[in-house]
Homo-oligomer: A and B are copies of this chain.
Amino acid sequence: MPSAAPLTARPAEAVIAALVEELAARFGNKLATAQAVRRQHGHTLSWTPNQPPDAVIFAESTEDVADAVKLCAARGVPVIAFGTGTSLEGHINAPFGGVSIDLSRMNQVLSVHAEDLDCVVQPGITRTALNAFLRDTGLFFPIDPGADASIGGMTSTRASGTNAVRYGTMKDNVLALTVVTPQGDIIKTGSRARKSSAGYDLTRLYVGAEGTLGVITEITLRLFGIPEAISAATCQFPSVKAACDAVIQTIQTGLPIARIELCDEMTVRAFNNYSKLGLAETPMLFLEFHGSAEGVEEQTARFGEIAAEFGGGPFHWTTNAEERTKLWKARHDVFWAYQTLKTKQQMVGFATDVCVPISRLADCVTQTQKDAAEHDLLAPIVGHVGDGNFHCGVLFDNQDPDDVRRAKEFSERLVRRALAMGGTCTGEHGVGQAKMKFMPVEHTPGALDVMRAIKRALDPANIMNPGKIIDV
């Protein structure tokens, strides 16, 4: 491995110019350097300023990626993997310049092994495209982070979303990876066996590494049979605590619930504004049950009993696919619904996420609501509460420095509150640039040293997505 000093600043313009010439020779019209394309590849859904790369390669194969990485490595220039650009914490910015490797053309399903309930895909395929491809097989890939993210990006951020309470997160559903290392070598991290004890778990090392240890070019995923029956339900509760207590009891009785989403009072108000639902402005759970026809009926009935115990109601449920879609529509429209809460036209929203042990969820949500009210901030909450994970979507005027400051401080207090409750600064969005400052708050210094030692050992030149996760 190269022993060059690790990159800590932008490479010289001449280095970039020479590299771009080499890339043009190798990649022809798969290379783009137009400003619009570069800016688009630094764009994220976060409020971090756009830091565009110097060039973009539209890779079409693992070999393309390996060659691009080798050329960048030879000149010590950063490499940033790009999927769909739906990450939320400045993951794809290029603070030290470099080359964005756009993987959206690598969007094929390479194989489906229906008997083994797995498939091998390229990183650029999105989760909805994968599920559309799989439909005829009777199988599906359950992880649903909301955005139509790429499977590569979901792997790299350790994404999860609404189904994680039943099906786990990306960590649980990636069986193996093909990775291009910072040296441009192509490695495989595992086999299609369901489990293995054959050495260090490299798969889990690259899952959630946010492209800082290598570029993922193939992903072997677990699949599941499409459930015979699905039932969806909504239920309102007198308080966040009552809703959370119902969730805790549901999880504790082992009810194999597939989705359980909390919306707070302000979110319900936004639904009323947007979809004219006429709901009482009290917290609400959206639920989904998967299984056999008898199984989902039984699960639904049991949840109904639990909900009633905690004052929940009215309780609506259905197994009809069309009605189910209608029931979930409000939850899916949450982003648009939030726009109706704006008190000034120029307001923008940003989403942050934390995760706490489920017993602390009600406390964490209610304290966060109180904090927002005290600081006169619009901060509606939705959460994947079966995991103790929730999102806070702060609305603020990003032209008003005071508004920006208050939103930032609120977000920081939220993270510190979650950490103080034994939680984590991000349950599923990842660290990127925006949450790096919380890493020393969340982790012991020794644990950060271990992360740094791994990063330095595998990427001594610090060219893989530098300026993300940890300072090296």
Contacts and interface: CB of A to CB of B under 8 A. Distances in A.
B202 A451 contact: yes
A194 B458 contact: no
| Chain A contact surface mostly | loop
Interface stretch (A128-136, A318-326, A352-360): A352-360
Interface of A: 1, 113-118, 157-160, 164, 168-169, 171-172, 181, 185-202, 204-205, 207-209, 213, 224-225, 227-228, 248, 251-254, 256, 290-292, 294-295, 298, 302, 355-359, 387-389, 419, 422-431, 435, 438-439, 442-444, 446-447, 449-451, 453-458, 469-470
Given A116-B359, A200-B209, 7 more contacts: A113-B359, A169-B195, A197-B208, A198-B431, A199-B469, A224-B254, A225-B254
A169 B194 CA distance: 10
Nearest to A114: B252
A193 B469 contact: no
20 contacts: A115-B252, A157-B197, A172-B172, A181-B450, A186-B446, A187-B450, A193-B357, A194-B355, A195-B355, A195-B389, A195-B427, A197-B208, A198-B435, A200-B469, A201-B204, A225-B254, A227-B254, A453-B457, A454-B457, A457-B457
Contacts of A1: 453
A302 B187 CA distance: 42
A275 to B, nearest CB: 30
Nearest to A358: B116
A444 B451 CA distance: 24
Contacts of A224: 254
A205 B204 contact: yes
B205 A388 contact: no
A248 B253 CA distance: 28
A458 B447 contact: no
Nearest to A432: B197
A355 B187 CA distance: 21
A458 B454 CA distance: 8
- Give the 8 A-B CB pairs with smallest separation, nearest first: A457-B457, A204-B204, A187-B446, A196-B424, A115-B359, A225-B254, A185-B446, A193-B355
Contact of A200 (B208, B389, B419): B208
A428 B447 CA distance: 27
Contacts of A191: 357, 419, 422-424, 442
A208 B198 CA distance: 8
Given A171-B201, A298-B295, A194 B444 contact: no
B194 A388 contact: yes
A315 to B, nearest CB: 19
Contact of A429 (B197, B209, B426): B197
A199 B440 CA distance: 11
Nearest to A245: B115
Contact of A387 (B194, B200, B205, B357): B194
B185 A470 contact: no
A432 to B, nearest CB: 10
B422 A192 contact: yes
Contacts of A189: 447
Contacts of A168: 172
Contacts of A470: 199
Nearest to A443: B199
A418 to B, nearest CB: 8
B204 A358 contact: no
Interface centre among A159, A295, A439 (most CB of B within 10 A): A295
A200 B454 CA distance: 9
Nearest to A448: B199
Interface centre among A197, A438, A451, A457 (most CB of B within 10 A): A197
Contacts of A209: 200
Contacts of A169: 195
Nearest to A175: B357
A290 B196 CA distance: 25
